[in-house]
Structure 1
Amino acid sequence: MTAERRDAEALKALWSGVAGRNWVAAQDLLDGLFKPFEPLLAEPVGTGARVLDVGCGTGGTTVAAARLAGPEGDCVGIDVAEPMIEAARARAEREGVPVRFVCADAATHAFEPGGFDLVVSRFGVMFFEDFAGAFANLRRAARPGAQLRLIVWRGPEDNPFMTTAERAAAPLLPDLPPRDPDGPGQFAFARAERVRSVLAVSGWTGVAVEPLDVTCAMPEKELERYFTLLGPVGRVLQETDEPTRSRVIETLRTAFAPYVHGGEAGFTAACWLISASA
């Protein structure tokens, strides 16, 4: 097995394990937090559209697209995380929306060639081991003239809220995994020039990378659930002894205090809105 394949398998294991389970446990919180992004991604969806949602998670964006595409459309969500796909299928059934979900790696999955009019993703494309290979595979899945529309994070320096937990907890949690700015991960597409290069070499044209700043908020009472479930700190806390866990939680309450106003915890999500054509 190649090192690249081992890394992909490790990522799948992570998201099918603790990371995926924690995300599902916080599904309602994340749905509200990231709701403002749905219309931005679904904007090009018309009646009868065939849409692929990459890294669909628990399916919020996929379901939003399917509602716009209507019964004549065909909307598919794909993710490597089994717990998330199970939750996405339950969501679609509960809401009565015709949509399909596939548990697979979008980087290598054998899509029907030219099967989609639109490929979208909300924070789901920064984790591929081989970015150029993955986007080439997505290009093959898109019909000629199809659109690509993605939202990814800009850099950590633009998103201090996203790293507050690990910066504050680091002295108490020495096993926190370090971030690799050049490797797969939340901020892998922080540099616009990297995005343009990856899409160009994988066959996409007309690439546009535009800054996007979106206000996100959650009830203050949900903040502790957020930082104890999500991100590197949330994963490490699952295996931490109770005294350490309590110290971390108290430390993080103080660290996040500047983001709390009037019963809400809010921040600006500094992102890129990326578009391209097949």
Structure 2
Amino acid sequence: MNSPATFAERYQSVLVPVIFEPWARELMRRAAPRTGDRILDLACGTGVVTRQVAQMGVHPGRLTAADHNPQMLNVARALTAEAGLDVEWVEADAGDLPFEDDAFDLIYCQQALQFFPDKPAALREVRRVLAPGGRAAFCVQRDLEANPMLKAQAAALDQYVGTGAGDAVRAICGLPDGEELRDLFETAGFEEVEVAPVTLTLHHPDARSFAAGAMGGMHTGDKLSGISQDDVARVVEAFLTGLGDCLDGSAMRFPHASHVVLAGG
């Protein structure tokens, strides 16, 4: 009998193909890796950005990925081992990076800054390990009103699980202000900071399947554990109803809105 999937495995199977792979490609479109770059994938999760870099056909001088969650790193290691990729995986906190000064030419971080407990300290660390002339590319979720999929999820959880569960989704949109982002980066010592609102249109062919998986595969953990199967079904139905025009038959197509921050060292 197979053991139940871990949170990291659910995150990889449900959320990465729909949400995080498209955003990884968008970051690379705006800050393309180059042969010889020393690259850091910060808060790498299951390594989606790292794998996208490897698929670009460039040859980094160094390819490093860091995350504080060992389960995420275990999944990332397994996936890159299957693909034969040479990656340095590091368990580390963003606010205390175990790298020398000026260690990287390009640093990516997608959908994680809003969760860092000390954002100024983390950005000072990123600035410290970014070489002169280097580039940082971040994406950070915008507000709940601009993200109807997350709004529907939060409302469904509020109704059937409790506001604590809904708050866990709202935390994904916990740093929505572009000017606040700009100030954080400039205060940390970055130069030529650009903050752009970007919306991707994302798709899943089976909204019901996505709903059931996403509730247990978001950044903030499994919100459906501990409630009855009947209530799980009610949460999924409430989520689907809340999608409104984003639900097209059995499929879902929804805007996913973030700020993309590009900053220089």
Identify whether the pair has TM-score above 0.5, normalized to the shorter chain: yes
Do the aligned partners of residues 122 and 23 (structure 1) sit closer, same or farther apart at CA in structure 2, a change above 3 Å counting?
same
- Aligned pairs for 1:103-142 within 5 A: 103-142=91-130
Distance 1:28 1:144 in 2: 37
Please point out which of 209, 213, 219 is paired with 1:226.
213
Report the CA distance between 1:30 and its aligned residue. 2.2
> Which residue does 1:40 correspond to in 2?
26
Matched to 2:61, the amino acid is G
Matched to 2:148, the amino acid is P
Distance 1:233 1:104 in 2: 18
Distance 2:162 2:120 in 1: 34
Distance 2:67 2:127 in 1: 17
Report the CA distance between 1:158 and its aligned residue. 0.9
> Which residue does 1:29 correspond to in 2?
14
Q: Which string of whole-angstrom CA distances, capped at 9 and with x for unpartnered residues, describes residues 118-143 of structure 1?
A: 01111122111111111001111111
Q: Please tell me whether residue 249 in structure 1 is matched to residue 203 in structure 2.
A: no
Report the CA distance between 1:178 and its aligned residue. 5.8
- Aligned pairs for 1:76-225 within 5 A: 76-174=64-162, 176-177=164-165, 179=167, 185-220=171-206, 222-225=209-212
Report the CA distance between 1:257 and its aligned residue. 5.4
Kept in 2, the 8 Å contact 1:66–1:73? The answer is no
Total equivalences in the alignment: 257
Report the CA distance between 1:169 and its aligned residue. 3.1
> Which residue does 1:62 correspond to in 2?
50
Do the aligned partners of residues 175 and 115 (structure 1) sit closer, same or farther apart at CA in structure 2, a change above 3 Å counting?
same
Matched to 1:251, the amino acid is A
Q: Which string of whole-angstrom CA distances, capped at 9 and with x for unpartnered residues, describes residues 174-207 of structure 1?
A: 35346499xx942232101111111111111111
> Which residue does 1:3 correspond to in 2?
none
Report the CA distance between 1:212 and its aligned residue. 0.6
Kept in 1, the 8 Å contact 2:158–2:165? The answer is no
What's the % identity of the aligned pairs?
A: 25
Q: Secondary structure at the match of 1:237?
A: coil
Show structure 2 runs of 5+ residues with no match. Answer: none
Distance 1:189 1:228 in 2: 21
Report the CA distance between 1:270 and its aligned residue. 1.0
> Which residue does 2:263 correspond to in 1?
276
Do the aligned partners of residues 52 and 200 (structure 1) sit closer, same or farther apart at CA in structure 2, a change above 3 Å counting?
same
Q: Secondary structure at the match of 1:235?
A: coil
Q: TM-score, normalised to structure 2's length?
A: 0.87
Q: Secondary structure at the match of 1:107?
A: coil
Over the residues paired in the alignment, what is the CA RMSD in angstroms? 2.5
Kept in 2, the 8 Å contact 1:67–1:97? The answer is no
